[in-house]
Amino acid sequence: SYFMCTFSTFFMGYANTQQKAAGIHTRLYSRAFIIDDGSRRVVFVTADVGMISQRVRLEVLQALQQKYGDVYRQDNVVLSGTHTHCGPGGYFQYTLFMISSGGFIKTSIQPLVDGIVKSINRAHQNMRPGRIYRNRGELDHSSINRSPHSYLNNPEDERLRYKDNTDNQVLVLKFTDLDGDGIGMLSWFAVHAVSMNYTNRLVSSDNMGYASYLLEQDKNPGELPGQGSFVAAFSSSNLGDVSPNTRGPVCMNTGLPCDYLNSSCPVGGVTHTHMCAAFGPGDDMFESTRIIGQNIYRKAKELYATAVDEVTGSVQSAHQWVNMTDVSVQINDTHTVRTCKPALGHSFAAGTTDGGGDLNFTQGAVEGDPFWDGIVGVLLGKPSNETKECHHPKPILFNTGEMNTPLPQLIMDTEVVIAGLSNVYTHYITTYEEYQVQRYEGASTIYGPHTLSAYLQKYRGLARAIAQNQVSELPVGPEPPFFMESLVSLLPAAPVDRKPANTSFGEVLQQVYPIYRQGDVVSVTFVAGNPRHSGDIILDNRTETWEVVHTDASWETRFHWLKGSNQQSNATIQWFIPPSAPSGSYRIRHFGHYKALKGLRPIISPYEGSSDVFRVASSFYY
- pLDDT band with cut points at 50, 70 and 90 for residue 411: very low
What pLDDT digit, counting tens, does each position of 467-482 carry? 999 999 999 999 888 8
| Mean local confidence (pLDDT), 449-454 | 95
189 has a pLDDT exceeding 90: yes
Give pLDDT, residue 6.
64
Which of the two residues, 397 and 173, has the higher pLDDT score?
173
Query: Is the predicted pLDDT of residue 377 greater than 60, yes or no?
Result: no
3-state helix/strand/coil string of 466-520: HHCCCHHHCCCCCCCCCCCCCCCECCCCCCCCECCCCCCCCCEEECCCCEECCCC
Q: Give yes or no for residue 130 having a pLDDT over 50.
A: yes
Average pLDDT over residues 272-280: 91
Say yes or no to pLDDT of 376 above 60: no
Average pLDDT in the 264-279 region? 88
First to last CA, the chain: 42
Q: Give the Cα separation of 149 and 351 in Å (integer).
A: 16
- Residues belonging to the binding site for Zn(2+) are 83, 192, 428
Q: What would the mean pLDDT of 483-488 be, rounded to a whole number?
A: 77
- What percentage of the chain exceeds 90 in pLDDT? 71
Q: What does pTM read for this prediction?
A: 0.93
Position 378 scores a pLDDT of: 46
Q: Which pLDDT value is given to residue 372? A: 46
* CB neighbours of residue 270 within 10 Å: 9
In words, the CATH class of domain 508-616 is: mainly beta
pLDDT above 80 for 552: yes
> For helices 54-68 and 106-125, what crossing angle results, to 10°?
40
pLDDT of residue 525: 98
What is the mean pLDDT of the segment spanning 61-69? 98
Residue by residue, DSSP assigns 176-218 as EETTS-EEEEEEE----S-SS-TT--SB--HHHHHHHHHHHHH
Q: What is the mean pLDDT of residues 145-171?
A: 95
pLDDT-derived band at 370 (thresholds 50, 70, 90) equals low
Contact 158, 206 (CB under 8 A): no
Residue 116's contacts (CB-CB under 8 Å, 6 or more residues apart) are: 1, 30, 32, 45, 47, 56, 60, 79
Structure confidence at residue 381 (pLDDT)? 64
Residue 3 pLDDT: 61
Query: Residue 434 pLDDT more than 50?
Result: yes
Name the residues annotated as catalytic: 243
The more confidently predicted of residues 355 and 404 is 355
Q: Is residue 200 over pLDDT 90?
A: yes
pLDDT at 395: 87
- Residue 112's CB is within 10 A of a number of other CB atoms, namely 29
Task: Show binding-site residues.
Answer: 83, 192, 428
Q: Regarding predicted confidence, which is higher, 584 or 414?
A: 584
Residue 321 has pLDDT above 50, yes or no: yes
Instruction: Indicate the pLDDT class of residue 348, thresholds 50, 70 and 90.
Output: confident
State the number of CA atoms in the 13 A half-sphere of 503 facing the CB.
19
SS3 call for 318: coil
Smallest CA-to-CA distance from 279 within 241, 242, 240, 246 is with 246
* Start-end of H helices in 28-155: 54-68, 95-98, 106-125, 148-151
pLDDT in tens, 221-247: 999 999 999 999 999 999 999 999 999
Q: Are 25 and 204 in contact (CB under 8 A)?
A: yes
**Nearest-angstrom CA–CA distance, 3 and 243:** 26
d(CA 391, CA 341): 9
The residue extents of the domains of the chain are 324-418+427-470, 508-616
- pLDDT over 60 at 373, yes or no: no
Looking at residue 358, its pLDDT comes to: 59
Has residue 401 got a pLDDT over 50? no
Confidence of residue 17 (pLDDT cuts 50, 70, 90): confident
Instruction: In whole angstroms, give the CA distance from residue 104 to residue 449.
Output: 30
Alpha carbons within 13 angstroms on the beta-carbon side of residue 121 total 13
Q: Of 67-71, 267-271, 320-324, 572-576, give the lowest mean pLDDT range.
A: 267-271
Distance, CA of 124 to CA of 499 (rounded, Å): 45
Q: d(Cα 26, Cα 30) in Å, to the nearest integer?
A: 13
Residue 384 has pLDDT above 80, yes or no: yes
Q: Kindly give, in sequence order, each residue whose CB lies less than 8 Å from that of residue 404, ignoring residues fewer than 6 positions away.
A: 147, 150, 238, 240, 241, 428, 429, 430, 431, 434, 441
Find all residues with CB under 8 Å of 419, minimum gap 6, and list them: 44, 78, 80, 188, 235, 236, 237
Q: What's the mean per-residue pLDDT of the chain?
A: 90
